[in-house]
């Protein structure tokens, strides 16, 4: 089974993020509930332009409570499990959101959920 990587784009430059995707031969999985940003380089369309089919958005791993600050609640983790089951045998994935610190981010919850069910190791990437 390939590796589940996680990454918070805060602190990264888009070109460095692309280099990481290329080096790992990975698929970048945007797990933001809403894949938009005030900064244009971090919007869904910018990622598609930069990474082509190496980018995908899985709102099923988004945190429903990202706006309220409530407890982390993944939108539809079983849907994401099906997606990951089809991608991970062929490619590593990088679960990406905005948060710099993984310890307080929903991507840790998402990565752990997938890892426990699929047996894939987790590696957290930093800029």
Q: Check pLDDT > 90 for residue 79.
A: yes
Using one digit for the tens of pLDDT, what is the confidence trace for 14-55?
999 999 999 999 999 999 999 999 999 999 999 999 999 999
Using one digit for the tens of pLDDT, what is the confidence trace for 86-116?
999 999 999 999 999 999 999 999 999 999 9
Q: Check pLDDT > 90 for residue 69.
A: no
- Asked if 32 contacts 62 with a C-beta cutoff of 8 angstroms, the reply is yes
Q: Give the pLDDT of residue 20.
A: 98
Which residues, 6 or more positions from 55, have their beta carbon under 8 angstroms from its beta carbon?
27, 28, 30, 47, 48
What residues make up the domain containing 20?
Answer: 4-124
User: Count of domains in the chain?
Assistant: 1
Domain CATH number, residue 13: 3.90.190
């Amino acid at each position: 089974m390939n590796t589940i990587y996680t990454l918070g784009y805060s602190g990264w430059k888009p070109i460095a993020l692309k280099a990481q995707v290329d080096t790992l031969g990975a698929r970048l999985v945007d797990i933001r509930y809403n894949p938009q940003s005030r900064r244009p380089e971090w919007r869904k369309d910018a990622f598609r332009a930069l990474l082509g089919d190496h980018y995908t958005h899985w709102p099923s791993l988004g945190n429903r409570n990202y706006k309220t600050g409530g407890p982390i609640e993944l939108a539809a983790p079983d849907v994401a499990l099906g997606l990951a089951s089809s991608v991970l045998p062929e490619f590593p994935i990088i679960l990406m959101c905005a948060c710099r610190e993984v310890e307080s981010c929903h991507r840790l919850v998402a990565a752990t959920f997938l890892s426990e069910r699929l047996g894939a190791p987790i590696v957290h990437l930093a800029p």
